[in-house]
Amino acid sequence: MEDKDGIKIEGSSNSFTTSGSGTATYKVDGTPLGYNGRYDEHLAPVVEILFSLRQKLIDAMTSSEADVKAKKDAMDIQKAKSEELQRQAIEAAANAVGSYNEAKTIDSQVSSKSLKEIEMLDSIVTMVHNLNNRPTDGFASCLDLLKAMPGTKSGVYTLTPYGQSASMKVYCDMTTQGGGWTLIAQTVARVTACGQSASSCPEGERNLYNLRDGGGDFKNAPRGKFTWSIPNAAKIAQKSSTIAIARWNSWAAGTGDIAESNAASSYPIPNPASVNFANPSHLNPDQSSRGSCVAVTVTSIVGGSSCVNGCGRFTFSNSLGTTWSDTYPTSIGAAVKCTGDNAGGPALASDDTGTFNGNYLNSWGKTNAQSGSPYYWHEGLWDVDSKNNGGLGTVWLR
């Protein structure tokens, strides 16, 4: 017989086979299957068994198909994930190659630039080394040195100042108002006169040596309790544009730059080419050597509130100094008058003081014919706003 699904049952009276989907042969013991040449009710149990087996087979195949499909779907998902991972890996690899190539290019550029910078730094180091070891005695002023070697620090340098035949140690202020200041003289003074002779003045206390002849232990640029002036300092002044006077309250503290002092001010040199530091005394027989009494504008550097924005003073254009009208000291600097009451500085008494009597002898008679009185000063060291100051007075040119 054949059911609707096409499974056939056929065979002899005691066996049968199925054909169609999955063929098998079955043997039935007992009563023969055939009767009068056809199948009858004796086959009903067999058919029932066969249909049961068929259903189980269909169920098994259906279940198997579902499992297979599920596994196939899972494999497809895994395959898709794998392909995506491969794609990402390939993309990452490509990016990595690009990044690597870019990094390699940058590294090459950096290396090239670094080599150039290293070479430049080496050159700078070499230049600085050469500058630090460069002889300075070929320079005639601190300003010349600073222009040739920017960044030079303040300190003592061996220069050959204008007007000198040999080199000497000079202190250079390389910071105050741009630097380039050459220290040409200093004096140690007290508020009132210590006497009229060397024996009554402590060692080192003295009026300025005049700036024509100079004097004192200037060769080693001492700062401390020494009074000295560079000889022939006019040659330096003739190459300068500004003069400054600075004072420390104590000679022991006077070791640094102008800006470190207790009082300091400066003014333009009226006519640098004519400076000779001639004796500014009103008793100088050669009055014309002092030059004209000219107005200058003094500007405070340290202290001196009245002259912070500039104040008017006077000085002799060639001497760069002033004088009293009697036998009191002459001064290097500027004052309210060129001759007379020397009110208001800056001014430092020099040894050009005293009367001349025709042969440069001073009224105190305690020194040689060319020097005036070194051991008498009047009302101490003068700042722009005060007098009667003691300490260390200094003269600078730039």
Query: Percent of the chain scored above 70 by pLDDT?
Result: 62
Q: Tell me how far apart the alpha carbons of residues 171 and 225 are, in angstroms, rounded to a whole number.
A: 15
Q: Helix, strand or coil for residue 144?
A: helix
**pLDDT digits 0-9 by tens, 218-238:** 777 788 888 889 888 999 999
d(CA 198, CA 200): 5
pLDDT of 330 reads 81
Q: CA nearest 250: which of 263, 237, 240?
A: 263
Residue 121 sits at the vertex; the CA angle it makes with 117 and 123, to the nearest 5 degrees, is: 115
Average pLDDT, the chain: 75
Confidence of residue 194 (pLDDT cuts 50, 70, 90): low
Predicted confidence band of residue 13 (pLDDT cuts 50, 70, 90): very low
> How many whole angstroms separate alpha carbon 185 and alpha carbon 182?
9
pLDDT band at 24 (very low <50, low <70, confident <90, very high): very low
Interatomic CA distance for residues 69 and 202, integer angstroms: 120
CB 281 within 8 A of CB 325: no
Model pLDDT, residue 88: 78
User: Which stretch of 188-197, 311-320, 387-396 has the lowest confidence by average pLDDT?
Assistant: 188-197
Q: Which residues contact 146 (CB under 8 A, 6 or more apart)?
A: 152, 172, 174, 179, 180
Of 140-149, 300-309, 382-391, the one with minimum mean pLDDT is: 382-391
Tell me what pLDDT residue 82 has.
74
Q: How many residues does the chain have?
A: 398
Number of CB atoms found within 10 A of residue 252's CB: 12
Alpha-carbon distance of 344 to 349, in angstroms, equals 13
Q: What is the dihedral of CA 43, 44, 45, 48, to 10 degrees?
A: 120
Per-residue pLDDT at 122: 61
Label residue 300 by pLDDT band (50, 70, 90).
very high
Residue 190: band (very low, low, confident or very high) from pLDDT cuts 50, 70, 90: low
Q: How confident is the model at residue 16 (pLDDT cuts 50, 70, 90)?
A: very low
Q: Tell me what percent of the residues of the chain surpass a pLDDT of 90.
A: 28
Q: Does residue 189 have a pLDDT over 90?
A: no
Domain spans, the chain: 1-133, 142-397
CA distances from 381 to 128, 193, 247, 371 (A): 41, 11, 8, 19
Nearest 10 degrees: Cα torsion 118, 119, 123, 126? 70
For 115, other C-beta atoms within 10 Å of its C-beta total 10
- Residues 392, 168, 315, 368: what is their CA dihedral angle, to the nearest 10 degrees? 80
Name the more confident of 130 and 157.
157
Better-scored residue on pLDDT, 227 or 261: 261
Question: Rounded distance, CA 321 to CA 331, Å?
Answer: 5
If phi > 0 it is left, if psi is from -120 to 50 it is alpha, else beta; for residue 117 that is: alpha
